[in-house]
Structure 1
Amino acid sequence: MKKILISVVLSSVASLSYATQQAFLIQNSGWMEPFYQDSNSQFKPLINGVIQTVAKPDDKIVVSVFNQSNALAKSPKIIYQGAGAQPMLADLQAQQIAYKNDKAYADTDFTEAVVSTITEPFAKQSGIIWIFTNNKNSPNNDAETIARNKEFYTLIHDNPAINKVLAFPLKMPVKGQHFNASGLMVYALAYGQSAEKDLNQLVESGQIAKIFTQQPALLKPLDKEPVQMIPQGVKNSSSIRASLSQDHKVLIFDLEPKKVVPEIKLTADLKNNFYPYNIAATKVEAKLMLANGQQAPIQISQTQVNLLTKENTKLEFNLPIPADVVVSPWSWTAFKAMGKQVIVPAQVQVTLYEQQLTLSDQFKQNLHDLFPNDPLSDVFVAPSNIQSSTAIIPVQFRLQYPLWSVMVMMAGILFGILLLIFLFALLSKSKRYDVLINGINKQSIQLKPFSTQNIYGENAKIIAVAKRGLSKPTLEILDKDIIITLR
């Protein structure tokens, strides 16, 4: 029943938009004794430093201590709630190990702490949950520990409402009256899509690196953005340059329209984004997708890859250049650019099939050293149901069109306008002609271009019709007995 309740609670992220919510859950159960008792412990200063580093002034902040609810007290217990990060060291120093009765320290329930935070201070709205723990989940201190560890594993990996999970294993040797510890684990859980974006921003901006100097371990998601493509060069064209944008997210190709080839033979490194996991995939596919929906397959030099955490894999990609990418220098698109770059957006999609994720040996040894015989380290075992992952890499084709074509088009447009003005003036101007009937000047007429006028004889009888085009007018003589000329 509890698993069903957890699933319902965690799948009901509301869609309303709020300022970033962040909760900081600090374990104070019995296993944490040395972190609180050792006079050299950096546990509480670390927590204060994290709060001050990652929280913005307008964030909604909750700081709680947690263990497991018992007859004496409910868990978690809020020690601060408000807007923005406040100096918390004094409040943290006042916290001590919790008891479940007069003689025994309190036990630990991770899932209870997370779910209670989401349902109460978060009010089921998206937010980031930080957990500071010695990585021991021990509800009731009995055989249920294994089951609760599995419950926490399911919460992290399988529940769709937890969008992203990072972990930071830290070396922190401490000694207490009853227990010793070698290290500390800090988890960051993003509850909801908004929190996932906020957590990504904290990582990408370098804000988290100010307090955690080592690369964070990614626990979730393990089915998207597995790799980064780092261009190294173009083999079949010296006029095409491949590079990355300043934020290292966009793959950029600078092209010269006159020297475009049917495809780009790009050499690039694939960087593993799933630290601390090595990625083995039996099949790799890639395709180019334009903004108009057009797609084209990309041939890859290797169809199987083994991506290690610390080493990139060099591959060659035959990237087709669809005809839609290279527009004519006489096109409206080139004209609008006015000699500047024309940017054609696209995407490269790279998919790894039948992927197998294994912890790197170095990280595994680090976990063993920090948390010996710790069953909760099983959260780093990748779920077996994730068989593939896809990376969507934004692409820009940048084409530099010459200014002379724009100047020619502008000159043509100007010439057309002047021609129209000339024709208009020509068409609106009248010319006077004398009408000679049988050699005698009888009358005069005025004709505009492309106009006609009747010529009258005696008794107001029409004897001819004068017609003018752009040049000299012509006469249509109706009375053949009369000689009529114009001059």
Structure 2
Amino acid sequence: MKRTLACLALLAQSMSAPAPALALGVSHVFLVQNSGWMEPFYTDPQSRYKPLITELVMAVAQPGDPMVLAAFNQALPGAPSPKALLSFKFDAKSSRKQVGGALAALEVARKPGSLAYADTDLNEAVGTAIRSALGGKSGLVWLVTNNRNSPNNDLQTARRNREFYELIHSGSAITRALAFPLQMPVQGAHYHANGLMIYVFAVGDEGARQLKTLVASGAIAKVITEPAARLKPLDQDLVRLVPRKVSDAPGVAFSMTPTGMLRADVNAQARSPAASIEWHLENTIYPYTIASAQISARSKVGSEERPIRLASSSVTALAPGKSAPLSSTMALPVRELPGKWSMAAVGSAGSAYVMPGQIELQLTNQRLELSQAFRQRMARLFPGDPLPEIFTPPSHIKSSVAKLPLVVRVHYGVAPLVALIAGALALLGALGAAALAFARPRKALVTVEDELRTMHARAGTTQPIFDKAGNKVAQLKTTLFGHQLLDLREGAQVRLGR
């Protein structure tokens, strides 16, 4: 075991190196079970086990993603588990051959010095991958298993499954977890199996974001067509609101964008923009039925929040993938709307002033139940295996929040902008006229000792006035509004005009 930990720790160091390509990639750890219970998956000539894993790696990885491929069973002295098979950066051209070659050489493991097949420890495999292969960093751990968790081949399967349950639900390292139960009937020399399970565990916040993006991209669905069963989290996005009918109030119109965002187009003149909206309240948390829950809703736009009046305050027996009608009346904030003479309104004239927000739907006193259809499917794929209890919702989760993005677009006319432009032009004209007047020389008639003189001066200037003998007798100050005599010498015969 120490040897394996050291090996995977070295792999973790290579994965966490500060190379730019690694910084942008997702760390994937693929754990492939090869214990004795997996014998038919390895020996049946019709088995699609290894090709499935290869195709999954090729579908979910991006160029440059750091990856580890490891086999696991149960660690014993001289038989480490998990055991690294490959450590590489994913490359679409070469990785298929690398992964396929490593899996082709993989066989069912036996206990050291014995013909007995190796046992299985799911907790050990996942825990080692998180601690050593990822080295505490964010990433995705993929677990391919027949769902039998029986270290030392003991009979305490329920207890072992509970430990696995606690690792997933109570541990802080795993932030998001999905499971894909797949039908794959195989027959070996010793055992028969109906199916296998593929788990994917997101480690860290970045791992959770990457897993959500990966699911939304459809990459996993290219290989696995079965819906993902959610293990964690069970307190977020249990339902989805889809508007089916909107009764618009005067001055407001609602619509849904292709990306699933609710858009409200509001006329700036609307005094109390609101609308009656009928929704489909859809259960999106496969494979759980929402047995019962209290519901409430509110809208948040800018710094203003408003409650949304719902026709019903509860939901019951809502099966996964099913929806129930829900009527509501939603008012949009008025205090947050900019006035038509504000800079925001003028800047948005002819288009729209955009205010982002969201609708929050709160479920409280919620009670989730594993759907009977899923229980029956698991019983067919894994007969006699109690591991489906891992899907039992944690007792402490009693509430959840679903969020619908909302954008409010306020439409303003161009009249204020036109008025401001006209005012600006008028001001510019006045300033231009004043500048011309200021720069143009102005004529002044001055009488000095009965002699009429004509003087020219620009506004803002002062020039001296001399008598016939050449003595300075006064000064002429010129402004935009006329002329003025300054510093008039005592006894001097100087006046403005004739």
- TM-score band w.r.t. shorter chain: 0.7 to 0.9
Cα displacement (A) at 1:162: 0.2
TM normalised by structure 2 equals 0.84
Cα displacement (A) at 1:483: 11
The residue identity in structure 2 corresponding to 1:243 is S
The residue identity in structure 2 corresponding to 1:73 is A
Q: Could you say which residue in structure 2 is the equivalent of 1:110?
A: 122
Instruction: Map 1:24-423; keep pairs closer than 5 Å.
Output: 24-84=30-90, 86-87=95-96, 88-101=99-112, 102-237=114-249, 240-248=252-260, 250-259=261-270, 261-291=272-302, 293-306=303-316, 307-337=318-348, 339-423=350-434
- Is 1:425 the counterpart of 2:436? The answer is yes
Q: Is the 8 A contact 1:71 1:100 kept in 2?
A: no
Greater shift, 278-287 or 168-177, is seen at: 278-287
1:130–1:170 Cα change, 3 Å? same
SS state of the match for residue 355, structure 1? strand
Q: Is the 8 A contact 2:250 2:270 kept in 1?
A: no
Cα displacement (A) at 1:287: 2.3
Cα displacement (A) at 1:408: 3.4
Q: Is the 8 A contact 2:249 2:274 kept in 1?
A: no
The residue identity in structure 2 corresponding to 1:256 is N
Give a deviation string over 1:449-479, Cα, whole Å, max 9, x none: 588899899998989x988775566899x99
Cα displacement (A) at 1:237: 2.5
Q: Is the 8 A contact 1:234 1:240 kept in 2?
A: no
Alignment partner of 1:21 out of 21, 27, 35? 27
The residue identity in structure 2 corresponding to 1:193 is D
Give a deviation string over 1:320-348, Cα, whole Å, max 9, x none: 22224432343322333352332111122
For 2:325 and 2:346, the matched residues in 1 are separated by 39
Greater shift, 315-324 or 199-208, is seen at: 315-324
Q: Could you say which residue in structure 2 is the equivalent of 1:4?
A: none
For 2:201 and 2:27, the matched residues in 1 are separated by 12
For 1:120 and 1:485, the matched residues in 2 are separated by 101
Q: Could you say which residue in structure 1 is the equivalent of 2:13?
A: none
For 1:412 and 1:275, the matched residues in 2 are separated by 62
**Which runs of 5 or more structure 1 residues have no equivalent in the other structure?**
1-8
Cα displacement (A) at 1:209: 1.1
TM normalised by structure 1 equals 0.86
1:360–1:427 Cα change, 3 Å? same
SS state of the match for residue 116, structure 1? helix
SS state of the match for residue 253, structure 1? strand
For 1:113 and 1:341, the matched residues in 2 are separated by 55
Cα displacement (A) at 1:129: 0.8
1:365–1:210 Cα change, 3 Å? same
**Which runs of 5 or more structure 2 residues have no equivalent in the other structure?**
1-8, 10-15
Q: Is the 8 A contact 1:233 1:242 kept in 2?
A: no
Q: Is the 8 A contact 1:264 1:319 kept in 2?
A: yes
For 1:429 and 1:369, the matched residues in 2 are separated by 101
For 1:280 and 1:475, the matched residues in 2 are separated by 98
The residue identity in structure 2 corresponding to 1:47 is I
Cα displacement (A) at 1:365: 1.6
For 1:243 and 1:368, the matched residues in 2 are separated by 44
Greater shift, 268-277 or 238-247, is seen at: 238-247
Q: Is the 8 A contact 2:251 2:269 kept in 1?
A: no
SS state of the match for residue 399, structure 1? strand
| Alignment size in residue pairs | 471
SS state of the match for residue 178, structure 1? coil
1:456–1:404 Cα change, 3 Å? same
For 1:140 and 1:179, the matched residues in 2 are separated by 18
SS state of the match for residue 418, structure 2? helix
Greater shift, 71-80 or 334-343, is seen at: 334-343
SS state of the match for residue 330, structure 1? coil
Measured on the aligned residues, the alpha-carbon RMSD in Å equals 3.2
Give a deviation string over 1:137-189, Cα, whole Å, max 9, x none: 01111144322211100111111110000011111111122221111111010
Share of identical aligned residues, percent? 35
SS state of the match for residue 158, structure 2? helix
The residue identity in structure 2 corresponding to 1:160 is S
